[in-house]
Structure 1
Amino acid sequence: MGFVQDPPQLAHPYREDHLLRAMLDRALPPARRGALDADLQALGDYAVMAWQRVGRSTRRKPVLTQWDAWGNRVDRIELTEAWQEGPRITTRHAVLAAGHEASEHARLEEFARAYLYHVASEFYTCPLAMTDGAATALKASGNQALLQRALPRLLSRDPATFWLSGQWMTENTGGSDVGNTETVARQNADGQWRLHGRKWFSSAVVGEMALALARPEGAGHGPGALALFYVETMDGGRRRPELVIDRLKDKLGTHELPTAEIHLDGLPAWPLGELANGVRQVAPMLNITRTWNAVGATASMARAIALARDYATRRQAFGKPLIEQPLHAQTLADIQAEFEGAFALTFEVAHLLGRVEHGAAQPHEAALLRLLTPLAKLWTGKLAIRLCSEALECFGGAGYIEDTGLPQLLRDAQVYAIWEGTTNVLSLDSLRALAGDSFAALHTAIDGWLADSIDAHARQRIHAALQEAAAFLEAGAKQRDALEAGARGLALTLARCAAAALLARHDSWAAPHGHARAGAALRRFVGHGLSRLGVTDATDTALLLGPH
């Protein structure tokens, strides 16, 4: 038999991830750091097993059976093996429950777990994100009856009692613009509310409950008249007949995730709070679900790079391994530096979220969280697509072959820029944050992160890019259209400035311990440039988009 190429092997995602371990060592008190170790070891073990399983079997899609053999409507969804394992892994290792402990470090510890679990879970973390968001929204509502019923199940550490929650917002009329929501809530004579309408994207229809936007019958138009309702999807062991699954979506990626189109035909519902301003009641969920999105994007980048690096040690070309080829090594180092910037920003947002939730934040940090959350989500979402594409190219033709398991990484990455607000939607949301005191908060934070920086060149480049962003904002105050047209470039610039400052902070912490690679990541990242501001010319835009 002739030559056969060794496939890439996945290094243990926890034991071999020096970046994750160093971040946790720096950020956590020793006692909490030690208590976290067993769960992270186990989740890393699961990730290795799951990658090996991909090589042994064909990955499947969920299957919807709408009718049983006797003509009864059942809407039963057969899930993949990883999804069947989801409740056990989630509860055993507190993937979700850890984020709701009474500690400013709770969110960082939660998202460290999610980071290791995400790719192996086959996007079971998508409904976990919505479940986390639902628990947060329930807490914010103060609805004691619903809190007592649902919260212990959403945060359960027992798979037998654990519930998943959906988040049913999107309808045929659109995604982010929910003002035209057509689902109607009608109240029966006995006072019970029931929902009637269609939800176009429902990514956790296999859950036991959901939060849904609906317009109370007789309410006015627009988003302010919408209310947020709690629903349960199961009646004992069977799906409620008022919840009808029309079909499962046939998607580019996230194949294992059962995303459904559903009809609500009188599904019983309970308002979370007032029968209006439902979009405002959704707001507490956004910091949560957008952070999950950024963590997922960062985890996908980590997986793609880890496999590409391992393969570079196994693949020989022109007499030596790829890792010893100067251009290939340069390519891997470039994507590693970009990834480390994304990692730094993502986990700063995670830690910041916990500090704000538990009253441990500095005065400027609530405004900082408001800005950094959309920035981290939009930047990591775009970066994951580019880095996963580059990593697949590192495998040559093998990266284009389905049963290697590699193409799935790129297909899945495309969703991060779409879920929880597209890049443009979040860029405009960042402008709304900047209308307050978020830019001053970012300046304060960056000054703090750079306070002990040992890299004067990086400091100068970061401050120069921030000054350019400030000038753009000042000019945009007089010309709103130009400000909106440049919002994406502004958002990417601010994200990169924040990431560079965080890399500098990590370098200052790591250098005394003899870790020179943190400085290398900072220099390489800054060398790629921080500003992404460009020229916005409305006349040229009109000409390019006008009739040919």
Structure 2
Amino acid sequence: MQRFCSRNNLLLANLGTRGILRNVTAATSSETYLKISDNQKNVEPESYVVPFAKARIGNFFQEKPSLGNHYREDHALQSYLKRHIPSDIFTSKVEPDLHKFGQRVTSEIVDLGQQCDTELPYVEHFDPWGQRIDRLVTCPAWNKLHDISAEEGIISIAYNREIKEYSRLHQMAKVYLFASFSGLYSCPIAMTDGAAKIVENLTTEYPWLKERAFGHLTSRQPGQFWTSGQWMTERKGGSDVANGTETIAIPQDDGSFRLHGYKWFSSATDADITFTLARVVGKDGQTTKGTRGLSLFYVEVHNVDGSLNNIQIQKLKNKLGTKQVPTAELLLDGTVAHKVSDEGRGVASISSMLTLSRIHNALASASSMRRMVNTARDYSTRRSAFGNVLKSYPLHIQTLARLEVEVRGALLLTLEAARLLGREDVGIATEHEQMLLRLLTPLAKLYTAKQAMSVVSEGLESFGGQGYIEDTGLPGLLRDSQVLPIWEGTTNVLSLDVLRALMKTNGGVLKVWHDNIIYRIESAGQHQELSHAAEKVTKCASSVVDFAKTHSDVLDNAARDFAYSLSRTFIGALLVQHAVEAGSDPTDIYAAQRWCEKDLTPVITNQNRRHFSSESTDLDFQLLFKNYHDRSRL
């Protein structure tokens, strides 16, 4: 016979010894039935409850967040592009492509990126017979992302220039959509973009280089598409390549060179080509020290038979994040290379590569922020706490809205740099636009990278404990974001680069910055809701210029706060102008107002606090080194 037990009954401890479970079925969520064999008829029904696994662990499972079309859900991106790209071009070419790609990002690319995060690259150093092969193995998803990058024209759009100056802006919009979902394939894309720019710039002097490499670097055919590395950093390395580069280049009779050196941090080791710096060995067997001794070299990573070009992969780096990118320590032991700069002009020749990689870095920062905020926004509609979904709590929405303001500011700053680069690409940028691009490039990189760390961390907190669980994919966003303030120059290094831009132009670049802000603010002069924000931006811009003129003696010490002040004030101008010219959307106005409520000029604030005085400098040192164990080094 069958006996039925309510799911609410208690299970006695002797269930396992007195009953034999023959069949278990679930009927409804409110009633569960336990079928017991006839020989158990002496057991009272009240002794049983359904021992289903589901009953033991509970019925609730948190619904995971999801994302819609990544382009369609980005108001700031759409409205900026509509403002700056002629409507016929935008409607017929740019928007349809970005709409289609935005859907592909969240329906396909996100899963590939997650696979890259779990199936990490590795090196097979030897074959079964003991021969050294240093075979780098990447996962199928990484290789698929290579193909998608080609198919989508993430490099080629910028160089085919079908829509002229707007091609670069179109390309960078795709990079922004792609970066945070790409499993870090955006890293080799950044270096490939820089390599393509170098090759394009060297067309006249080295026509063979364009014929050999340019078509591959800009191809839309996956089988023809090459990626590039950027092997600059050595053991002494970091940003000080002038004193840190020890690699030597020995001339050969055929005009090529053989490189011998140790590259300590070489990202995208699976690249097809790379550009690197080395010192040419003269006839006297000597090399020139410093920047004057560095020349730029083009290297094809593999020989025709697929073997490495006299390169040994010593090890893959064990990094905090960006583990998906195969970054290695490489021994160059007679690597065949070709010099593609005048001797001693290597650093100058890579300036275009640095510009591009820094803009890509800023795009990755904005992309990481956007993904985190969009995911947290969706989660707020699915997660309930204390009886209501999170979106019902004003404090939670206020927190996310503050992050949204940061994302919009970062995006506008980076897209403005990309727009100016597009004009420079086709030779129509004015002298003032070129100077502004020179300044905005380090500013966008340094400031958005710091924003990314703050926004991604705060966004992670909005998921509670789930934000700390690796399987959600969320912690990886935070780990991977930490590289953004480091790669292509730390915050302090780039702050000093900003000062170099000022010195090389005798302050001209600062005047261009100020005049550009005034021009943007004038468009909002009669807008009542933005008048206070516009007035504050104007005042802050003048204050920063006055500081640079009257406190030039402390600029080195104030460089970081000075760079932040330049960035925040310029972003304020961009947001105010955008709010007016994009149609006075209430959310755009609100974003501009909220941005301009912050301290736009920390350099003025901290100068008033005497943070840059010699007394403060001494106290900073004492504060840090008090009780330091090795007094002999002070």
TM-score by length of 2: 0.83
Cα displacement (A) at 1:237 = 4.5
| Equivalent AA in structure 2 for residue 74 of structure 1 | I
Counterpart contact for 2:309–2:336, Cα < 8 Å:
no
Counterpart contact for 1:226–1:277, Cα < 8 Å:
yes
Cα displacement (A) at 1:31 = 3.0
Moved more, 53-62 or 238-247: 53-62
Distance across 1 between alignment mates of 2:398 and 2:359: 30
Determine the structure 1 residue equivalent to 2:583. 511
Say whether residues 1:37 and 2:99 are aligned partners. no
Cα displacement (A) at 1:228 = 0.5
Q: What pairs with 1:321-400 in structure 2 (closer than 5 Å)?
A: 321-400=389-468
Q: Tell me which of 456, 459, 462 is aligned to 2:534.
A: 459
Cα displacement (A) at 1:351 = 0.5
Classify 1:525/1:97 alpha carbon distance in 2 versus 1 (closer, same or farther; 3 Å).
same
Distance across 2 between alignment mates of 1:461 and 1:187: 59
Counterpart contact for 1:511–1:519, Cα < 8 Å:
no
Q: Give 3-state SS (helix, strand or coil) of 2:73's partner.
A: coil
Determine the structure 1 residue equivalent to 2:598. 528
Cα displacement (A) at 1:20 = 1.4
Determine the structure 2 residue equivalent to 1:163. 226
Counterpart contact for 1:11–1:306, Cα < 8 Å:
no
CA-to-aligned-CA distance 1:47-73 (integer Å, 9 cap, x gap): 213335677997221121111222222
Say whether residues 1:2 and 2:59 are aligned partners. yes
Determine the structure 2 residue equivalent to 1:62. 121
Cα displacement (A) at 1:241 = 4.7
Moved more, 396-405 or 538-547: 538-547
| RMSD, aligned CA | 1.7
Distance across 1 between alignment mates of 2:253 and 2:566: 54
Say whether residues 1:78 and 2:141 are aligned partners. no
Determine the structure 2 residue equivalent to 1:111. 172
Counterpart contact for 1:143–1:273, Cα < 8 Å:
no
Q: Tell me which of 333, 346, 349 is aligned to 1:265.
A: 333
Distance across 2 between alignment mates of 1:231 and 1:363: 34
Distance across 2 between alignment mates of 1:185 and 1:255: 31
Counterpart contact for 2:366–2:410, Cα < 8 Å:
yes
CA-to-aligned-CA distance 1:285-327 (integer Å, 9 cap, x gap): 1111111110011001000101111111111112211112121
Determine the structure 2 residue equivalent to 1:490. 562
Determine the structure 1 residue equivalent to 2:77. 20
Distance across 2 between alignment mates of 1:81 and 1:522: 44
CA-to-aligned-CA distance 1:445-469 (integer Å, 9 cap, x gap): 1122112112111111112222331
CA-to-aligned-CA distance 1:117-172 (integer Å, 9 cap, x gap): 11222111111111111111122233111111111111111111111111110000
Q: Tell me which of 513, 516, 521 is aligned to 1:450.
A: 521
Counterpart contact for 2:260–2:332, Cα < 8 Å:
yes
Unaligned segments of structure 1, at least 5 residues: none
Determine the structure 1 residue equivalent to 2:27. none
Classify 1:244/1:392 alpha carbon distance in 2 versus 1 (closer, same or farther; 3 Å).
same
Cα displacement (A) at 1:36 = 2.0
| Equivalent AA in structure 2 for residue 96 of structure 1 | I
CA-to-aligned-CA distance 1:399-433 (integer Å, 9 cap, x gap): 01100100001001111101111100000000111
Moved more, 380-389 or 75-84: 75-84
Counterpart contact for 2:117–2:323, Cα < 8 Å:
no
Determine the structure 2 residue equivalent to 1:473. 548
Cα displacement (A) at 1:392 = 0.2
Classify 1:427/1:255 alpha carbon distance in 2 versus 1 (closer, same or farther; 3 Å).
same
Say whether residues 1:222 and 2:280 are aligned partners. no
Unaligned segments of structure 2, at least 5 residues: 1-57, 628-634
Distance across 1 between alignment mates of 2:541 and 2:214: 42
Say whether residues 1:151 and 2:226 are aligned partners. no
Counterpart contact for 2:134–2:312, Cα < 8 Å:
yes
Q: Give 3-state SS (helix, strand or coil) of 1:158's partner.
A: coil
Counterpart contact for 2:113–2:182, Cα < 8 Å:
no
| Equivalent AA in structure 1 for residue 278 of structure 2 | A
Distance across 1 between alignment mates of 2:398 and 2:215: 50
Counterpart contact for 2:146–2:185, Cα < 8 Å:
no
Cα displacement (A) at 1:78 = 1.9
% identical equivalent positions:
41
Say whether residues 1:101 and 2:160 are aligned partners. yes
Higher relative contact order (CA 8 A, sep 6+): 1
Determine the structure 2 residue equivalent to 1:203. 267
| Equivalent AA in structure 1 for residue 257 of structure 2 | W
CA-to-aligned-CA distance 1:216-253 (integer Å, 9 cap, x gap): 11221111111100010111241325011111111111
Distance across 2 between alignment mates of 1:318 and 1:547: 48
| Equivalent AA in structure 1 for residue 72 of structure 2 | R
Determine the structure 1 residue equivalent to 2:237. 174
Determine the structure 2 residue equivalent to 1:135. 196
Classify 1:57/1:547 alpha carbon distance in 2 versus 1 (closer, same or farther; 3 Å).
closer
Distance across 1 between alignment mates of 2:130 and 2:600: 61
Distance across 1 between alignment mates of 2:425 and 2:117: 42
Cα displacement (A) at 1:32 = 2.3
Counterpart contact for 1:60–1:255, Cα < 8 Å:
no
Distance across 1 between alignment mates of 2:511 and 2:437: 12
Distance across 1 between alignment mates of 2:219 and 2:357: 19
TM-score by length of 1: 0.96
Determine the structure 1 residue equivalent to 2:624. 545
Distance across 1 between alignment mates of 2:114 and 2:415: 31
Higher-Rg structure is 2
CA-to-aligned-CA distance 1:66-97 (integer Å, 9 cap, x gap): 11222222222221343211232112111111
Q: Give 3-state SS (helix, strand or coil) of 2:338's partner.
A: strand
Counterpart contact for 1:86–1:121, Cα < 8 Å:
yes
Classify 1:430/1:190 alpha carbon distance in 2 versus 1 (closer, same or farther; 3 Å).
same
Say whether residues 1:125 and 2:186 are aligned partners. yes
Say whether residues 1:192 and 2:256 are aligned partners. yes
Counterpart contact for 2:232–2:263, Cα < 8 Å:
yes
